[in-house]
A and B are shown apart, each in its own frame.
Chain A
């Protein structure tokens, strides 16, 4: 196990290094002329050249990358071109909002997904099962901006139960968390359904039934816990799904997290912020995958370590 953990850690670091290189290369190629944006329209060629030199944009690729990487290792993500603030500070300031949203979304998708999947498995092939599975297909086929706007329309504009967007109270959290959580609900309900069906076919479930145990007792004590185990590891992988959605959901709901930060930066071509958020999100995804790989063999000893 020890060697496995070390090897997976090493791989993760390599992937992060690769991501930093690809992100940097992509943005190096951007024909965006940030120096011109900073200098303004009326600036002379000389001013523009000065700013270019100041930002180090006149250096060749490998030198720029080496310097970027060196700073990165010290936790320095650079400075925003337009806001003149450290990117790490900007991201750190918005991180709590994003983490809160992520946590709430995971709670939503686990509650909804596991319940729906369990009911579908218990009522296998019935009309209930069919409708629940169609629902799970709809949730993975609906783009998050459509879900978000429709939830806003129904529950904020028409019913007035929740605020139309923003941040601060529990009420603000509900709609964005459901919007993100619904996507995961679709995946979890399908996994839970097939996992439950597997467990229901096991001998020990038949034994429990033969012993005359109550139906609910069998489900909650014997079936559900074993069905959930293989799914727990999926939460890690889920973080990747989540990170892809935050840009859209945070801008629909005006949620002040790193997704909104990235979206604002993309519109202003504020490259250091875009790179910073991409890297931080990639870190989350890599960490999530790593956790999933490490947890999976713990909860299910049948999984062999490669």
Chain B
């Protein structure tokens, strides 16, 4: 630890991944976020080996004699659901669903948002005008309502749910990248490149994009949290991930009528959603502090 603390972060200069990681692990909040993310990704990847039961098996001994779900016990760690399935196993498989959709949807949103932002910011003019007016328009859309309508229209598969979420989620990224690209494009070193006859593609790829990487990483990380929440909400409303594929949201949806008698069926999946979204929020916030020293101590 002494080695790590001795090294003061160099203001404004790019730092190696190792230094950033050390910095993140030194802060309690982001260390917590990283640990949660590693655990959940681990659970999702190794799901088949970790799950104590088949998540879709409606076990005979998974229900009480009266046919009610069982509370957490030594046999079923987090209890069973209305159909006598093991909740812990379903939550682990649900981690897979949430992370796949989170990463996929957010990946699409990042690519679309960054492309729109860079294009509008660098070229400006009427292309930029149209793109940014469209972005404004999307900002004014009630996002969740739009996602619900879209998800209800298309028969939701994992890919469709991810696309729907991406469609309402790229806007934030586009705005941030637009503002930054615009100020970069007016800087001298870019004008020099232009005067030297560098191709537009080369300027964008070699000189603009590298300056945007930090913002893309920060907002990309924060975006995963939004994506996870949106997926959970859509699935809770029954227009997201469809049963029997478990998702944390649809587990609550399936069991909520019984929540007064079996609160663990809402509590544990709810906790899983909050933990994962919180982890990415904490990590994204810490990344913003670490990568952009100008903001240090202000958040």
Q: Which residues of A contact B (CB under 8 A)?
A: 11, 14-16, 18-19, 22, 26-27, 29-32, 130, 134, 137-138, 140-146, 149-150, 152-153, 157, 190, 194, 197, 240, 243-245, 247-248, 251, 262-263, 266-267, 269, 274, 277-278, 281-282, 285-286, 289
Contact = CB atoms under 8 A, between A and B. Distances in A.
B65 to A, nearest CB: 24
B282 A137 contact: yes
Contact of B145 (A14, A134, A197, A277): A277
Given A143-B229, A146-B266, A149-B252, A19 B149 contact: no
B266 A153 contact: yes
21 contacts: A26-B150, A30-B153, A32-B153, A138-B278, A140-B281, A141-B229, A142-B277, A143-B277, A145-B236, A146-B274, A149-B252, A149-B259, A194-B299, A244-B143, A247-B237, A248-B144, A269-B152, A285-B140, A285-B141, A285-B142, A289-B139
A299 to B, nearest CB: 21
Interface of B: 28-29, 133-134, 136-137, 139-146, 148-150, 152-153, 225, 229, 232-233, 236-237, 239, 249, 252, 256, 259-260, 263, 266-267, 270, 273-274, 277-278, 281-282, 285, 298-299
Contact of A149 (B139, B256, B281, B298): B256
Contact of B299 (A31, A146, A190, A277): A190
Contact of A153 (B137, B260, B282, B299): B260
Contacts of B282: 137
- Which 3 pairs across A and B sit closest by C-beta, in order of nearness? A146-B270, A141-B278, A141-B277
A162 to B, nearest CB: 14
Contacts of B256: 149
A243 B153 contact: no
Nearest to B239: A266
B270 A194 contact: no
Contact of A194 (B153, B260, B298): B298
B37 to A, nearest CB: 13
B259 A282 contact: no
Given A18-B137, A248-B144, A289-B140, A143 B232 contact: yes
Contacts of A243: 142, 145
Given A30-B153, A143-B273, A247-B145, A150 B266 contact: yes
Contacts of B141: 19, 22, 278, 282, 285
Contact of A281 (B142, B233, B236): B142
Given A153-B259, A244-B145, A247-B145, A141 B274 contact: yes
B146 A278 contact: yes
Given A190-B299, A240-B142, 14 more contacts: A15-B137, A18-B133, A19-B137, A26-B149, A32-B153, A143-B233, A145-B236, A146-B232, A146-B252, A248-B236, A263-B237, A266-B239, A278-B146, A278-B149
A130 B299 CA distance: 11
A140 B274 CA distance: 9
A15 B140 contact: yes
Contact of B273 (A14, A16, A146, A262): A146
B165 to A, nearest CB: 13
A245 B233 CA distance: 10
A289 B140 CA distance: 9
B29 A149 contact: no
A286 B273 contact: no
Nearest to B280: A141
A146 B249 CA distance: 9
A216 B134 CA distance: 48
Contacts of A130: 28
A276 B10 CA distance: 54
Contacts of A16: 140
A197 B298 contact: yes
A141 B299 contact: no
A239 B240 CA distance: 25
A197 to B, nearest CB: 7
A192 B229 CA distance: 25
For A32, A197, A285, which residue has the most chain B Cβ atoms within 10 angstroms?
A: A285
B153 A282 contact: no
Contacts of B239: 266
A190 B267 CA distance: 27
B224 to A, nearest CB: 11
A278 B278 contact: no
Contacts of B137: 15, 18-19, 22
Contacts of A26: 149-150, 153
Nearest to B236: A145
B140 A149 contact: no
A27 to B, nearest CB: 8
B260 A245 contact: no
A140 B281 CA distance: 9
Contacts of B274: 138, 141-143, 146
A134 B143 CA distance: 26
B285 A137 contact: yes
A109 B144 CA distance: 20
A248 B152 CA distance: 15
B267 A150 contact: yes
B136 A15 contact: yes
A29 B239 CA distance: 18
A238 to B, nearest CB: 13
Contacts of A289: 139-140
A149 B269 CA distance: 12
A145 B233 contact: yes
A274 B152 CA distance: 11
Given A26-B153, A197-B298, A244 B142 contact: yes
